[in-house]
Amino acid sequence: MTELGIGIGWRPEIAGAVEALPGIDWVEVVAENLCAGHLPDSLARLRSRGVTVVPHGVSLGLGGADRPDAGRLAELAAKATALGAPLVTEHIAFVRAGGPLTATPVLEAGHLLPVPRTWDALDVLCDNVRIAQDALPVPLALENIAALISWPGEELTEGQFLAELVERTGVRLLIDVANLHTNHVNRGEDPSKALSELPVEAIAYVHVAGGLERDGVWHDTHAHPVPPAVLTILADLASRITPPGVLLERDDHFPPPEELAAELTAIRTTLSAAERGGAGRGATGEAAPGRGAAEASGGEAAAPEPEAPRRRTTAEAAPGRGAAADAAPLDEPPLLIGAGARASGGPMPKPPAAPVTVAPPAPERNPHTPRDGARERVAVAEAALLSALVAGTPVPEGFDTRRLGVQSRALAAKRADVVAKVAPELPQILGDGYRPAFLAYAGSRPMTGGYRRDALDFVEHLLVAGRPEDPEARRRLTHWWQDRSGSRPPGRATRLARAARAALVRR
């Protein structure tokens, strides 16, 4: 396993700060924000200093029912080669649904959505992972995601699901301890139990990120400081095995460089405390049996008890399983921030403790191919969920209707935020009217392409409706649309065809 060390997520907004931070061994960059033939100068300078760069994908959708897109895989492979990366990473998630398997229009989530932890979904995911592994020039590692919603009828816990995935495919794991905390708060899942079920020898590296809790819901914003609870889970993980790399993620509301440096110091201190004590508190904050108590803040750890087992490195790990905050809310509504950010929000009651799941034995099958009909069954389930979230169709049976409403509003809010970033002229032209106008549009128009296409469709929607009312703003908006899409807005026939297509999506 490649030893990476301590790193930080590289973002254009903090490129200079990242270059100046002391002790940075490696950086991670969102793959979709790069062009293989035109790497940013900042990344080139970092590479010349020997800093490793790892591309982190967010759009493959390996947990989706469809096989991964060959074009996207080729682009990710080219970026890995251009960066000289030792590995690439993606997510255990689906990001789109529909298409030929369901005979419905393709819908884009614009976000990472959870995969059902069922044998069918595991079969499909494993097949997709093998396809990706064959297309990539370097090893692949997959990240656990954060979620607000839970699938009904799940057959495995998160730890069991990940362990099966690793056993079948040999894929490596990117463990996000902030996501484990998010799922603990939002879904009642025990992070310590998840860690105890993981094949820790498969961990490629670890993510650490911040967020905030509001009304009993944890928002994994990647835009707030790392809370003590997340460092507690990092300490628990580090008490079980030495992670090859740990990376701080920040996607928005970037603090001064000295605050980033302080968070990196807290991460190093937490790891050092686990190294000295050989242990940490349990992932939910309770002292782990037979271990010293590494404080969540990364303080001094108590001396290990004599019988405490020595921590293992990834090279020493046995092939089996591993051994057993508060932030001030912003005035604005909860955001899903950044291309790879995971979260949702809104006032929600605390969930009940997750029931103990004992995985039934895996069905008899060929371990290298999905069971007959598995892709179709997963396709129908994921399309029904995504359609309910973005197209207003009925909530599938067994889901928490209120939580889906919160997730739906969060997805629309994220669309508004990201479109404002890729097309910053739109908030300038529309002023305070931008956000309500976009949310009204998003409520009836699911995203079927990328965010740039979404921006064009939004402006077209306004112009066709004779908006905005201010003539000067409408003139500027028309010029913006013409510069990027064509000579004039679509005619009546085109509008009717698009309206019919939108109606089909809502059915």
Average pLDDT over residues 357-362: 55
Choose among 274, 326, 283, 261: nearest CA to 301. 274
Name the token pair of 271.
């790891």
Residue 95 belongs to what H/E stretch?
strand 94-99
Percent pLDDT > 90 in the chain is 68
What is the band of 504 on the pLDDT scale with cuts at 50, 70, 90?
low
- Give the C-alpha separation, 195 to 182, whole Å: 14
Task: Please report the sign of the dihedral spanned by the C-alpha atoms of residue 146, residue 392, residue 424, residue 59.
Answer: positive
Least confident of 66-75, 144-153, 286-295: 286-295
Residue 370 has pLDDT above 80, yes or no: no
Residue type, 246: V
Span 220-268, pLDDT tens digits:
889 899 999 999 999 999 999 999 999 999 998 999 999 999 999 999 9
| Residue-level pLDDT at 507 | 53
Residue 345 has pLDDT above 60, yes or no: no
Average pLDDT over residues 309-322: 43
Q: At what angle do helices 434-442 and 451-464 cross, to 10 degrees?
A: 100
- Give the C-alpha separation, 378 to 96, whole Å: 12
Under a CB-based contact definition with an 8 Å cutoff, are residues 424 and 82 in contact?
A: no
Percent pLDDT > 70 in the chain is 77
| Residue-level pLDDT at 344 | 31
What DSSP character marks residue 287? B
- Give the C-alpha separation, 318 to 83, whole Å: 32
70: exposed, middle or buried (C-beta count within 10 Å: 0-12, 13-18, 19+)? Answer: exposed
- Give the C-alpha separation, 461 to 443, whole Å: 13
φ, ψ (nearest 5 deg) of residue 104: -130, 160
Average pLDDT over residues 364-390: 86
What is the band of 422 on the pLDDT scale with cuts at 50, 70, 90?
very high
- Give the C-alpha separation, 323 to 304, whole Å: 15
| Residue-level pLDDT at 97 | 97
Name the token pair of 115.
């995969």
φ, ψ (nearest 5 deg) of residue 53: -120, 125
Span 19-40, pLDDT tens digits:
999 999 999 999 999 998 899 9
What single string gives the DSSP state of each residue in 189-251?
--HHHHHHHS-GGGEEEEEE---EEETTEEE--SSSPPPHHHHHHHHHHHHHEE-SEEEE---
Under a CB-based contact definition with an 8 Å cutoff, are residues 6 and 25 in contact?
A: yes
60: exposed, middle or buried (C-beta count within 10 Å: 0-12, 13-18, 19+)? Answer: buried
Average pLDDT over residues 323-338: 37
Average pLDDT over residues 100-110: 94
Residues sharing a CB contact under 8 Å with residue 103, sequence separation 6 or more, in sequence order = none
Place of tokens 């939004």: 458
φ, ψ (nearest 5 deg) of residue 377: -65, -45
What is the band of 496 on the pLDDT scale with cuts at 50, 70, 90?
low
| Residue-level pLDDT at 361 | 59
- Give the C-alpha separation, 501 to 15, whole Å: 42
Give the residue with greater pLDDT, 202 vs 315.
202
Span 481-491, pLDDT tens digits:
998 886 555 55
Span 169-210, pLDDT tens digits:
999 999 999 999 999 988 889 999 999 999 999 999 999 999
Task: Please report the sign of the dihedral spanned by the C-alpha atoms of residue 77, residue 79, residue 83, residue 87.
Answer: negative
> Cα torsion for 375, 450, 334, 206, to the nearest 10°?
60
| Residue-level pLDDT at 347 | 34
| Residue-level pLDDT at 282 | 43
What is the band of 374 on the pLDDT scale with cuts at 50, 70, 90?
very high
Total Cβ atoms within 10 A of residue 6: 18
Average pLDDT over residues 458-482: 94
Give the residue with greater pLDDT, 96 vs 364.
96
| Residue-level pLDDT at 235 | 97
Give the residue with greater pLDDT, 501 vs 419.
419
8: left (phi over 0), alpha (psi -120 to 50) or beta: beta
What single string gives the DSSP state of each residue in 265-286?
HHHHHHHHHHHHHS--B-TTSS
Task: Read off the pTM.
Answer: 0.79
Average pLDDT over residues 159-165: 95
| Residue-level pLDDT at 366 | 55
What DSSP character marks residue 116? P
Choose among 306, 184, 222: nearest CA to 13. 222
**Averaged confidence pLDDT in the chain:** 83
Give the residue with greater pLDDT, 289 vs 381.
381
Residue 343 has pLDDT above 70, yes or no: no
- Give the C-alpha separation, 403 to 409, whole Å: 10
| Residue-level pLDDT at 102 | 95
Q: At what angle do helices 434-442 and 401-422 cross, to 10 degrees?
A: 130
- Integer CA distances (angstroms), 446 to 63, 85, 450, 475, in order: 20, 35, 11, 26
Residue type, 398: G
Under a CB-based contact definition with an 8 Å cutoff, are residues 222 and 210 in contact?
A: yes
- Give the C-alpha separation, 215 to 370, whole Å: 41
- Give the C-alpha separation, 461 to 463, whole Å: 6
SS3 call for 113: strand
